[in-house]
């Protein structure tokens, strides 16, 4: 180490060479000194450095130190496999480590949650004696991604009961996202009040989540008011407000916001165009929709994705312009999938075009194998056109495949809980009380009429 006195820089290769020599001589004190120097000079993180440290500690008989380095490496491998979606190999490495590394367990939970394997994510989550905020956030995000909104609400109650810390912005964003999906305004307001009461720092993402929740929960006026209070508006916030206006059929305000974005020098992205096209679709603004669609690549270098093409096809269908829908489908540079053909089938239904509907049916069968709910859609289309032969054909297929329309589902928020009701379901714990109340209401309605 005297070379330092002469101003000579010791690089990683020199350090690993000295570590190898230390390992051969089994002089752990000098090895520790080298290790300390490597940490101070940030030369301890590369693969060569870590391998040399493991070799030095193990050959000097300090197996515990060597093991912890190995655990860090394998934990990193688990994390990489999880992020790549290769859960099979991640699980194998995790099992080889003996399930003791909290970092790898966290990575596994995040991986399983992100890829929809929530049962396994929850099992690993429950196996941890101490749960970090990262682990909680991973499970919240996983439930939201799979639209398990009730599970998100239940997990929040569990978090409050078990943890003494305040939920961070990432957790609250997931909860607000669940409120937005369920259009649950009251619990969304409670979360907003909790944020204000707890003086939680509201960053851009959390602010956007609040605007999104209000806009999708029927309170577009308050969402707009909140949006206008945002001093530092970014692309995410603009996209949220655009989507809110589109959701409520306020195409003029959506266009106004789009133009404001451009004036502020904010470049629209794929989400922006999906929102503005959705606004045009709701109001059957074909020419304006075409202007936005064809300007994506030409003016903003944004390539249209499947969802943009599907939106345009639906727009043409609502405007009774199936010929344009067919022409656009021929020009799609990527292979048409179930989203495209599903949109086209819906366009055929709107226009009562059974000939093109038959083509859409055949393509969907090739893509999906079993088109389930779409059989019902087709049967209704043929029945509206009094094409009873086709109705019989579809009904036979439905019977053979045991296809049926997904059960209707509704929900409401009462007394700090979300109650779900599915058509024909009798498993709700208060079914008898509900039926009794319904009978009373029916009797009152009968007397009024």
Task: Write the DSSP string, 131-178.
Answer: --HHHHHHHHHHHHHTT-HHHHHHHHHHHHHH-SSPP-HHHHHHHHHH
Specify the DSSP element, H or E, that contains 79: helix 63-84
Give the model confidence (pLDDT) of 8-67 as tens digits. 456 666 777 777 777 777 777 777 777 677 766 665 555 556 667 667 777 777 666 655
Contact 340, 332 (CB under 8 A): yes
Give the Cα separation of 90 and 108 in Å (integer). Answer: 7
Sorting pLDDT into bands at 50, 70 and 90, what band is 437? confident
pLDDT category, 423, cuts 50, 70, 90?
low
The first and second tokens of residue 114, run together, are 């992100």
CB 142 within 8 A of CB 111: no
Model confidence at 401, in pLDDT bands (50, 70, 90)?
low
Is pLDDT larger for residue 317 or for residue 93?
A: 317
pLDDT in tens, 292-337: 999 999 999 999 999 999 999 999 988 989 889 889 988 888 776 7
- Other Cβ atoms closer than 10 A to 288: 17
Taking the C-alpha atoms of residue 213 and residue 209, their distance in angstroms, rounded to an integer, is 6
Sign of the Cα torsion 349, 352, 353, 357 reads positive
Nearest to 14 by CA among 40, 30, 38, 47: 38
Alpha-carbon separation of residue 222 from 175, 229, 271, 272, 274 (angstroms): 19, 11, 22, 21, 23
Per-residue confidence (pLDDT) for residue 331, from 0 to 100: 86
What's the pLDDT at 133? 86
Length of the chain: 449
Give the pLDDT of residue 67.
Answer: 55
Confidence band for 88, pLDDT divided at 50, 70 and 90: low
Query: Does residue 421 register a pLDDT over 70?
Result: no
Judge whether residue 205 has pLDDT over 70. Answer: yes
Q: Which among 165, 108, 166, 91 is positioned nearest to 142, based on CA atoms?
A: 108
pLDDT at residue 89 greater than cutoff 60: no
pLDDT at site 348: 82
Q: Does residue 154 surpass a pLDDT of 70?
A: yes
Average pLDDT over residues 362-372: 67
Is the pLDDT reported for residue 220 higher than 90? Answer: yes
Q: In the predicted model, is pLDDT for residue 1 greater than 60?
A: no
Least confident of 204-218, 266-280, 346-360, 389-403: 389-403
Of 180 and 2, more confident: 180
In this structure, are residues 325 and 313 in contact, taking their beta carbons and an 8 Å threshold?
Answer: yes
Report helix angle 102-114 to 63-84, nearest 10: 10
Structure confidence at residue 44 (pLDDT) = 54
414: three-class secondary structure by DSSP: strand
Residue 144: what pLDDT?
A: 92
Q: What is the pLDDT of residue 64?
A: 62
- As to burial, measured by CB atoms within 10 angstroms (0-12 exposed, 13-18 middle, 19+ buried), residue 189 is middle
- Residue 231: pLDDT band (50, 70, 90) is confident
Give pLDDT, residue 3.
Answer: 46
Residue 106 confidence class, pLDDT cut points 50, 70, 90: confident
Average pLDDT of span 167-177: 93
Contact criterion met (CB below 8 Å) for 273 and 305: no
Give me the pLDDT at residue 8, please: 47
What does DSSP assign to residue 265?
T
pLDDT at 276 (0 to 100): 96
CA-wise closest residue to 332 among 357, 305, 351: 305
More confident residue, 414 or 405: 414
Q: Is the pLDDT of residue 342 over 50?
A: yes
Q: How far is the C-alpha of 344 from the C-alpha of 43, rounded, in Å?
A: 59
E strands, 13-99, are none
Q: Where is pLDDT greater, at 444 or 252? A: 252
Q: Which of 54, 42, 43 is nearest to 14 (CA)?
A: 43
Task: Check residue 4 and give its pLDDT.
Answer: 44
Q: What pLDDT is stored for residue 334 in this prediction?
A: 75
Mean pLDDT of 260-288: 94
Top pLDDT among 358 and 420 is at 358
* d(C-alpha 326, C-alpha 344), whole Å: 8
Neighbours of 90 (CB within 10 A): 23
């Amino acid at each position: 180490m005297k070379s330092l006195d002469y101003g000579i820089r010791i690089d990683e290769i020199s350090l690993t060479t000295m570590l190898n020599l230390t390992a051969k001589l089994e002089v752990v004190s000098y090895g520790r000194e080298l290790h300390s120097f490597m940490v101070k000079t940030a030369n301890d993180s590369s693969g060569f450095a870590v391998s040399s440290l493991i070799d030095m500690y193990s050959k000097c008989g300090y197996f515990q130190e060597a093991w912890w380095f190995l655990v860090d490496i394998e934990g990193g491998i688990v994390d990489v496999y999880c992020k790549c979606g290769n859960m099979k190999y991640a699980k194998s490495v995790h099992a080889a480590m003996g399930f003791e590394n909290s970092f790898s367990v966290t990575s596994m939970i995040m991986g399983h949650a992100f890829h929809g394997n929530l049962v396994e994510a929850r099992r690993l989550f429950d196996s941890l004696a101490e749960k970090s905020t990262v682990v909680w956030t991973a499970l919240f995000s996983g439930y939201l991604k799979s639209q398990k909104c009730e599970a998100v609400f239940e997990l929040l109650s569990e978090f409050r009961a078990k943890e003494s810390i305040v939920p961070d912005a990432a957790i609250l964003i997931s909860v607000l996202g669940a409120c937005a999906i369920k259009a649950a305004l009251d619990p969304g307001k409670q979360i907003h009040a909790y944020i204000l009461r707890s003086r939680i720092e509201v960053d851009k993402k959390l602010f956007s989540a609040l605007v999104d929740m209000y806009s999708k929960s029927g309170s577009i006026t308050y969402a707009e008011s909140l949006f206008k209070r945002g001093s530092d508006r970014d692309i995410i916030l603009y996209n949220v407000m655009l989507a809110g206006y589109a959701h409520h059929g306020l195409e003029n305000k959506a266009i106004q916001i789009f133009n404001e974005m451009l004036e502020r020098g904010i470049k629209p992205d794929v989400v922006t165009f999906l929102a503005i096209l959705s606004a045009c679709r709701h109001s059957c603004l074909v020419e304006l929709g075409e202007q936005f669609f064809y300007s994506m690549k030409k003016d903003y270098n944004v390539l249209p994705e499947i969802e943009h093409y599907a939106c345009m096809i639906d727009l043409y269908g609502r405007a009774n312009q199936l010929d344009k829908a067919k022409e656009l489908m021929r020009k799609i540079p990527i292979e048409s999938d179930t989203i495209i053909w599903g949109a086209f089938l819906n366009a055929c239904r709107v226009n009562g075009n059974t000939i093109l509907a038959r083509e859409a049916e055949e393509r969907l069968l090739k893509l999906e194998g079993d088109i389930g709910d779409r059989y019902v859609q087709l049967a209704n289309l043929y029945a509206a056109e009094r094409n009873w032969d086709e109705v019989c054909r579809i009904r036979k297929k439905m019977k053979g495949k045991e296809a049926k329309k997904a059960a209707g589902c509704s929900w409401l928020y009462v007394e700090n809980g979300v109650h779900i009701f599915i058509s024909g379901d009798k498993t709700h714990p208060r079914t008898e009380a509900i039926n009794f109340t319904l009978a009373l209401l029916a009797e009152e309605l009968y007397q009024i009429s």
